[in-house]
Structure formats: structure tokens, C-alpha cells
Chain A
Amino acid sequence: MAAIVHPQRVPAPAYAAPKPEATGLWSWLTTIDHKRIGILYGTSAIFFFLLGGLEALIIRTQLIRPENSLVSDQRYNELFTMHGTTMIFLAIMPMSAAFFNYIVPLQIGARDVAFPRLNAFSYWVFLAGGIILNLSWFFNMVPDTGWYGYAPLTSIMFSPADNVDFWALGIQVLGLASLAAAFNFIVTIINLRAPGMTMMRLPIFTWATLIVNVLIAMAFPAITIALALLSFDRFVGTSFFSAYNLVDGNLITTGGDPLLWQHLFWVFGHPEVYILVLPAFGIVSEIIPTFARKPLFGYAVMVYALAAIAFLGFGVWVHHMFTTGLGPTVDSVFAGTTMLIAIPTGVKILNWVATMWGGSMVFPTAMLFAIGLVSQFTIGGLSGVMHAVVPVDQQHNDSYFVVAHFHYVLFGGSIFAIFAGIYYWWPKISGHLLDERLGKMHFWLQFIGFNMTFFPMHFLGLAGMPRRYSSYGEESGWWFWNVVASIGAYLIAISILLFLYNVARSLRDSRRAGDNPWDAGTLEWAMSSPPPVYNFRDIPVVTHRDPLWAEKYGSHAVPADEGTLDVTLGGAKVGEADVADEDPGKQIEHRMDTDDTHDIHMPNPSFYPLVAALGIFLAALGLLVNNPWITFQLLSLPSLSVLGLLIMIFGIYGWSFEPAG
């Protein structure tokens, strides 16, 4: 154990940011700095994560004994709906977005994202969606139809109150935010790479970001359409998703089909799983090589595996519908495609192990969380293969076995990786290290709590406990494992409190983390912690993968390159450099020496993205107001929505004609 290398604590660099950054509320409201937006995403996501966690704790407490009556059936249904929706759309996705925002431009050596104001707009729209969803608590109209909101339970006939509208409009608005951000990151990664950073030199986290954002851009339109059709069903009286409808008191057959919803939802919903988990893969693929002091094993294969998972992810959605009676041919085809996904996933797991193999490993908290993902995701992956086997899935579907499965993927996978990422990049973001002793306590408590909560759920599923049951009878034999699971959930809660304490303590810590406390190889570690507002004073020229390692340990430390190197700027080839002549990474160091930052051109802050987002917020809110007093009688248009649309148009107009800086 003595061999553990403690990250160096060094005084703040002499070349600290020359221009003091603007502070205060207004500067945060108008910021278009990708790093600040990343921090906004991160803090919002942590807040929502705590909210979703609180919901989970109430759920676990309700289930701690048979026929418990802590909450009513209705409240329970609201809790699991909001828990799922919150964790997926308001915690994991924005947490990934926080890393995309903060880390990716640094990793590729860019000043900012391609469209900084669009980036701010994405964040504010995301926040609007989160607020809309959670406003429902104040009106006691909390969404109660589950995170996948199966029709026709969501129809006006079975859910006459506004609960479903809060859900549908909230997610619709969140989808807008995700789509805007997705295009932004795709363009950023394709076009703003530093000279010499070819696609196959991209840090693997940046690759994951690119692939995830392509997934978002392709998957979210499906849910956008589904939610729009659902809103038509609810507001206008169409029947896209209802086989029957009441017309003048008579039940009529409409030709609508609840299965249509399921197809549209899962064509989005399955890629969504990968939207949640591929960033985690990216994070872990950065952390493991750093702490094993070895490059990622099989970089190219890791990239192809990410792409393969993403591609195959669009061809497996029916495995969520194996109990809907689609027939043996459809079922076996999708059983096959689902099994295929296990192949690239297995390759990733084995390549991570191979990266560690032969390494010189230390185990700070970030590494522990990363290894936690590798171990726990394996379990989630194996139960995933079980669900590909249709007849077995017909037993497991909608039981706690599935609940166990996807928590191993999304909590044991995504959330663990997010914590790994926080511990890893926190020094870069805050300039301070998180306390390792507290961090390890956090990890072990969370690791034990997580497995204690979710592993017994496999047993509950095998014992036939369906998910979304607010209560169970004593005759079911489900009591014991529910108690164990609930105790595990409390352990997780304690571990999260430790984490929050650690963060608070770190922020008041006077010691500095240094630029590269982990001796990592990617570009974000080349600049001060936290980085200056303009990132690199001069854009570095990249000659190798893991450029900092190449600089420090010589080019033998990084993959052999072809003889010459295309120097690209904005995606276009602007020249060639002879690799042999380059002293790798020298430029980075050299150009950081200068204090001259006059010629760095940064865009101005803008409040128009916030105005446009506010308009969208009001427009969506208006649709939720049923009071005819504030609707325009002529078209029954809610006046609040009209006002919101006008504000949005004003925001976009001002944005368009605002000088960039």
C-alpha cells in the first residue's frame, strides 16, 4: 500500500488567469462559458439526483413490510413514476451533459463549444423541463403512469387530470434541450478539434460523447413524435394510442393502437439506455488507463464497440415488448439482435480488464468507482442476456428481476461511473482534491448498499414480485428480501451524505490540486485547475493520442503513428507535420508560458438564451392551465402559451442580431 502515489499538491500556477472572471448571479444567468454551463448542469443534476433518491427512499420504506401504509397507492404510483423520470432525464443525462460541457472542449483543445449561446439555451430549457415536471408536486397532479407511460392508461379516459400532461410536456421540453445540445456537441467534436487531433486520436470520452449525441439526435425525435401524438390524444380528442374511445357516451372502436405507443416509445427508449450508459463507458475508459499507467487496451476496438452498441441499440427495442404477443417470428428475431449487443459490451469489459492487466495500478476513489462499474455492469449485462431469451423474459418481464437488471446497468454502471468522473475531474473543475479517506468510505458504503439493495431484487423477481406494486401480502413470501433491499437503500443514502460532506469540505480547502494531479494523458490536464475562461492560450497541436504522456514520457509511451501527420483546423487539412520531427506535446508547454492573452477572442455573455428558454417554459406551462378564463375564447388558445411563444420569439430574435463579441 505504501506504493500509492499521492497526487501532488502544488501552489497555484504563476500564470493564473489574467482577467478576473465576472462573478455574481447575473454572470451565471448570462454565461455562455462551457465550463460554467457544465457546472450549472452538474449542480442541477445533483439536486435532482437527491430528489430522485428521496423518492426512492420513500418507495423502499413503503415496501419494508407487507401491507405497509406509509403512502397511498396513488402516491406510490407517483413516486415510482417521478423516481424513474427524474433519475433518467434530470439526473443521469444532465450529469453526463455536465461532463460533456466541461471536459470535451478541454480534451479536444477548443475554446468553447461550437455554439456557446445554444449551449446556454440547452441548459436553461433543460432546467425549465425539470421545473415543469416537479411543479406537479405543488399542484398535487404528479405524473402517475410510470416513466414509460403506456397508453391507453395515459389517455384522457383513464387519466382525466393533468398528471400526464405535466409528464408529457416536461419530457417534451427536456427533449428539446437534449436535441439542441446534441447538435452542438456533434458539431463541436467534428469541427473544433485542435490541429492534429484526428478522429482516432480523440480521447475515448470524447468519442463516447460524440456517439451519445448522435444517439440523442436520432432517438429523441421518436419520443418527440410520440409525445406530440399523445398530447393530440389528450388535448384534441384524437385516438392514436387508444383502441376504444367514448363518443357521445358510446364506446367505439377507433383504429388506434396502444402498441403504436410502445413501438415509438421503445425506439427511443432503448437507445436511451445507451445514452445513459455510454458516457459512463467513456469516463471509465479515461480513468482506468490513468491509474493503471497504461494506454487503453485496444483503443480502436473500444471505439468500434461504442459505435456498434449504439448502432445495434436501434434494432432491439422489441425486447421490451416480448409479452405483448407479437408472435414467434418477431420475438426470435429480436432475441437474436439483443444477444448481439452482448458481444461489443463483453469486448469492452474484457478490454478494461486487459488495460489493468500488466499495469502499475493505484486505487484512489475514482479508480474504485470505475472498477465498480466494470464489475457491476457485468452482472447487469448477464441478466440482460437472460432477458433476450424470450420465454425466460416472459417470466422476468415487469418483475423485480428486471428492476434489479436495469439498476445494475444504470446505478451500478452509470451512477458509479458518474461518481468516478466526479472524483477524477473534481480537481480540474474546482482546483481542489476531494478527500480520499471520505471518498473511500463513500465508495465502500455505496458499493455495499447498492449490492444489498439490488442483488436481492433478483430473488424477489424469481419469487414473482411484479414491479410497481405499492403493497404486497404476507402470503407472497416477499418480505425478507424487501427488508434487506430497504436497509441497503439507507446505506446508499448515508454514502451520498458522505459525498456531499466531502464536496463541501473540499470547496473550503485551501490546498490546491495542481494541474495534473493524477498524471493523466489527455489535454484537459495540461492547463491550470480550474482552467482560465479561454482554456488554452494557444491552441495546441496534437501529435499523439494521450498527448501529455507523449510529452512527458516520450512517444514510445503512446501508439506508434504514421510517418506524417495531417494538421487540421476546423476539420479541414491545413498542412502536414513530420511526426519524427516533433517533440511531442512541446507546443503545449511552450505556448502556456506567455502571458499575452490580448488576442484571444471570446464571445460575450448573453441573456437571450435564457429569455428564449423562459418563453418555452411559459408556453408549456400555459398548456397545463385548464382555466378557460385565461384562454382566448376564439381558438381556445391559452394566453400564457401565446405570451410564452412571443417571449421565445423575442429571445431568438435578440439572439440572432446580437453581436457575438
Chain B
Amino acid sequence: MGRQTSAHDLASEHQATRRRPAPGRLGGWAALSLLVVLVLAGCVEQQPYSTISPQTAKADDIQWLYQILFWASLVVFVAVQAGIVYTILRFRRSSANRPEQVHGNTRLEIAWTIIPAVILLVLFIPTARIIFDHAAAEENADFVIDIYGKQWWWEIHYPEIPANPDDPESLALVTANEVRIPQGANVLFNLQSNNVIHSFWVPQLSGKLDVMPGRQNQLQFTADTVGEYFGECAEFCGAAHAWMRFKVLVVPPAEFDAWVEAWRAPPPVDADPETADVVEVPAAFGVCLACHQVNGTNAVIAPQGFGTNPVPDTGNPGPNLTLLACRDFIGAGVLVNNEENLRTWLTDTDRVKPGVYMPNYYDDGSLSDGQVDELVAYLQTLQPEGGCPPRPPLGGDAATPEAVAQN
């Protein structure tokens, strides 16, 4: 399997050629002054969605442009406001005489038409260069991930990683709401939707790109810094738009491979390799089967990807639950993943996340208390025998000093 090995190669290759301009004096001052503002404001807490804490070369480019704009704007802002204040102070009415009746000054007006034009031209050149640079970078991407935007969660396909290592023709590895990528891989995300428009945004790694129904948009970046980065849906997509969060886990290539292996291994529940090729999910899982898959079990009939219907009735895929116990939240960010919340999710689905398409089978009597207990217990077993693969530390602006120290 060439995929994982090449991810290793890529990492080393990229570390060497990594173009990350050291923040110049300008950038340093910008960062410093912003920091001062934030500290003064008592905002020393982490900002995991920060747009000004770039962790990739691509986000660095944007930050560089933003800093130029920030300083240019600051100069113009101060000049204009100072001009206004000075004018107000100096030209207050002091006599009943009418002031000199000036009607204009052609030279002055031409000057302040041309000067902004020149400033804008200066801004336009790096803008256009970076637009085309970013477009060109998509051509060189070598690690493809398909992202399906759903109402209101994300399905993640690794088309180049077959679910069954012995059968390259088998379906792709599929997961939800947590995108794992090998450190240093030049990743191309194919963004698609069969429902409404979403927008895929991991502020510390890249600008956002909309997920357009009927089109396939491509977003590329190379993440070199191991870490856990926060992502969110940025285009209003209906009732639970605020709860369509995800994470991007940038892990060392070896850990990525370990995760793929863990995903492929059937979970250790009722495993009886003597009698069956696949593991049987508990009976209570029967109501979940139509929408959810668990790799390595008989729960593999639910559609994935586009399914057959973007709206809830039937054939609307739900998140793949393989390794669910290793994810850190449920409901695309609405609850922390623990035993209590899993129970809450099953019994109060539509109250926890109004609008959610998952039916509340507890309310309608399809699930008894006992069955809920059984399901909660089962869902917590959805992890490899040796425990979950390691998670990277929180990255960028989410990193607390403790997390950094641990790393």
C-alpha cells in the first residue's frame, strides 16, 4: 500500500522546502499590538478558531496580506480621523463673518484621486499573485480527501485508502467530523454536497471554501505542524448551522497509519472469529442500521456519500460510527463525547440539536431504557482493543501551555 509510505516521504520532503517567511518586524508589531489589545481585554484565553494564528504556509500568505492591509488601513484611518478632529477643533465658528467661499481645488482633488489609486494598485499586485499561487498549489496536491457537507455534520472519505487492505477495489475509508491528515501531506479536499451550501473552514489552516451542490470545489493546504485544529461551517445551512463543527487532526505519518489500521480492525465486541467473518452489532442497534455504518460489523448497509435522498426520510446517510469512542464530541460539536452525553443524545436527540434529522427513537418508543443502556455501552466499545490511537495536542491558538509542555 503506497499511500501511507508516500505520506512519510512527503512529510520529510515538505519540511525541507517549507516556505514560511519569518514574520518581519511589521508582522511582529501587528501581532504584538493585537496581543496587547487582547490581553488588555482579558482575552488571554485560547482562540482555537483564530484567523490570525496561521499554522500553514497558505494561512501565512493570507496573514502576510492581512498585515499589509492592516497597517495601510491604520495609516489611512489615523490620517483621516486626525484630519477630521483637527478640522473640527481649528475651524469652529469664531465670528459672524462668512468664511472664504472656496468651491474646490482641482489639483488637490486630482491628487487625492490618484494617490488612493496608486495605493490600491500596490495592494492589487500581491493580491493577484497570491490568488494565482494558491490556485497553482492545487495542481500539486497528492493526498485526496472527499468531504461531504451534510445538514449538519461532515462525512469524510479517503478515496485512496480502501476499507479492506486486501481488496483495493473495496470502498473507501469513511469517517465523520474529525479529519485526520498526515503531517506534511499536500492535501486536496474535494468539497461536495447534495443538499444545501456549506462552507469548509479551518481558520488556522486555510481560508474557507464553500461546499456547493452540483459542483466540486477543491481546497488545498499542507499542514506541517502536528496538532488538533478547530473547523466550522461558515455558510448558513439551516436550523443547526451553529452545530456543524469539525476538527482537523494533523498527526505524524506513523500515527496516521496506525489510525488507518485501527479503523480497519473490527471492534472487539462479541468477536468470535471462529464463527463469523463479521461482528454482530447488538440487537438494539437495529434501529440505527438504516443510517449508520460500523466498519467490521454487519452494520454496513447504510448508504454513504450522497445516499439516495438529501432529506431525512430514508436513505439519508448518518455518520459512520467506526471508532466513535475515539472522537471527542458528538452531534458535530454539540456535546462532549462521554457516557452521560451519549445517553442524552439518544434520549433527547432533537432537544439537544433541534432540527437534527436523526429520529428520537426513545421518545417514539422504539428504544426502551434498557436498549438505550445497551447502545450507550456498545458505542463506548467502538475503539480498538488497545485503546484509541493517540490524539495530537491542541494546535495553534487552541494550545494551552500544558498541552504544549506535554508535546
A binds B: yes
Among A191-199, A430-438, A555-563, which stretch is in contact with chain B? Answer: A555-563
Indicate whether A361 sits within 8 Å of B101 (C-beta atoms), given known contacts A325-B217, A378-B77. Answer: no
Among A216-224, A256-264, A275-283, A487-495, which stretch is in contact with chain B? Answer: A256-264
Query: Are A258 and B213 in touch, CB under 8 angstroms?
Result: yes
Query: Are B87 and A356 in touch, CB under 8 angstroms?
Result: yes
Residues of B within 8 A of A559 (CB): 103
Indicate whether A398 sits within 8 Å of B120 (C-beta atoms), given known contacts A5-B93, A153-B196, A251-B310. Answer: no
* Closest B residue to A474 using CB positions: B45
Query: Are A150 and B235 in touch, CB under 8 angstroms?
Result: yes
* Closest B residue to A298 using CB positions: B104
Residue of A73, A347, A382 near B239 (CB, 8 A) is A73
Mask: chain B, 13-43; 1 = CB below 8 Å from A; 0 = not: 0000000000000000000001001100111
Query: Quick check: is A293 within 8 A (CB to CB) of the other chain?
Result: yes
* Closest A residue to B64 using CB positions: A391
Q: Counting chain B CB atoms within 10 Å of each CB, which of A343, A359, A360, A394 scores highest? A: A394
Expressed in whole angstroms, the minimum distance between the Cβ of B345 and any Cβ of chain A is: 16
* Closest A residue to B214 using CB positions: A243
Query: Are A477 and B80 in touch, CB under 8 angstroms?
Result: no
Query: Are A360 and B97 in touch, CB under 8 angstroms?
Result: yes
Query: Are B43 and A251 in touch, CB under 8 angstroms?
Result: no
Query: Are B105 and A343 in touch, CB under 8 angstroms?
Result: no
Q: How far is the CA of A323 from the CA of B97 in the complex (A)?
A: 56
* Closest A residue to B120 using CB positions: A339
Query: Are A472 and B242 in touch, CB under 8 angstroms?
Result: yes
Query: Are B93 and A360 in touch, CB under 8 angstroms?
Result: yes
Query: Quick check: is A20 within 8 A (CB to CB) of the other chain?
Result: no
Query: Quick check: is B343 within 8 A (CB to CB) of the other chain?
Result: no
Indicate whether A475 sits within 8 Å of B48 (C-beta atoms), given known contacts A323-B209, A323-B210. Answer: yes
Residues of B within 8 A of A477 (CB): 43, 45-50, 397
Query: Quick check: is A594 within 8 A (CB to CB) of the other chain?
Result: no
Q: Number of B interface residues, CB 8 Å?
A: 101
Among A128-136, A206-214, A463-471, A616-624, which stretch is in contact with chain B? Answer: A463-471
* Closest A residue to B43 using CB positions: A480
Residues of A within 8 A of B108 (CB): 354
Residue of B88, B130, B233, B241 near A391 (CB, 8 A) is B130
Residues of B within 8 A of A331 (CB): 131
Query: Are A395 and B51 in touch, CB under 8 angstroms?
Result: yes
* Closest B residue to A352 using CB positions: B84
Among B110-118, B141-149, B252-260, which stretch is in contact with chain A? Answer: B110-118
Query: Are B47 and A350 in touch, CB under 8 angstroms?
Result: no
Residues of B within 8 A of A397 (CB): 207-208, 234
Indicate whether A476 sits within 8 Å of B109 (C-beta atoms), given known contacts A158-B195, A335-B131. Answer: no
Query: Are B80 and A391 in touch, CB under 8 angstroms?
Result: no
Mask: chain B, 54-87; 1 = CB below 8 Å from A; 0 = not: 0000000110011001000100110011011001
Residues of B within 8 A of A72 (CB): 354
Query: Are A244 and B236 in touch, CB under 8 angstroms?
Result: no
Residues of B within 8 A of A467 (CB): 236
Query: Quick check: is B355 within 8 A (CB to CB) of the other chain?
Result: yes
Query: Are A353 and B87 in touch, CB under 8 angstroms?
Result: yes
* Closest B residue to A330 using CB positions: B131
Indicate whether A350 sits within 8 Å of B46 (C-beta atoms), given known contacts A3-B94, A358-B100, A462-B52. Answer: no
Query: Are B84 and A371 in touch, CB under 8 angstroms?
Result: yes
Q: How far is the CA of A478 from the CA of B84 in the complex (A)?
A: 33
Expressed in whole angstroms, the minimum distance between the Cβ of A136 and any Cβ of chain B is: 17
Q: How far is the CA of A298 from the CA of B112 in the complex (A)?
A: 12
Indicate whether A473 sits within 8 Å of B333 (C-beta atoms), given known contacts A350-B112, A397-B208. Answer: yes
Q: Counting chain B CB atoms within 10 Å of each CB, which of A5, A361, A467, A556 scores highest? A: A361
Indicate whether A391 sits within 8 Å of B207 (C-beta atoms), given known contacts A73-B240, A466-B234. Answer: yes
Query: Quick check: is A385 within 8 A (CB to CB) of the other chain?
Result: yes
* Closest B residue to A77 using CB positions: B239
* Closest A residue to B116 using CB positions: A346
Q: How far is the CA of A397 from the CA of B197 in the complex (A)?
A: 14
Q: How far is the CA of A80 from the CA of B85 in the complex (A)?
A: 35
Residues of B within 8 A of A356 (CB): 84, 87-88, 91
* Closest B residue to A291 using CB positions: B93
Expressed in whole angstroms, the minimum distance between the Cβ of A263 and any Cβ of chain B is: 13
Give me 14 A-to-B residue pairs in the complex whose CB atoms sit less than 8 angstroms apart, sorted by A's number. Answer: A153-B236, A323-B199, A323-B234, A325-B217, A336-B124, A379-B77, A385-B69, A396-B51, A398-B199, A459-B43, A462-B34, A464-B50, A468-B236, A476-B48
Nearest 10 CB-CB pairs, A to B? A243-B214, A394-B207, A464-B49, A298-B104, A325-B217, A477-B47, A328-B135, A469-B242, A464-B203, A382-B73
* Extra 5 A-B pairs, beta carbons < 8 Å, given A356-B84, A360-B95, A464-B47: A243-B214, A292-B99, A361-B88, A468-B242, A477-B397
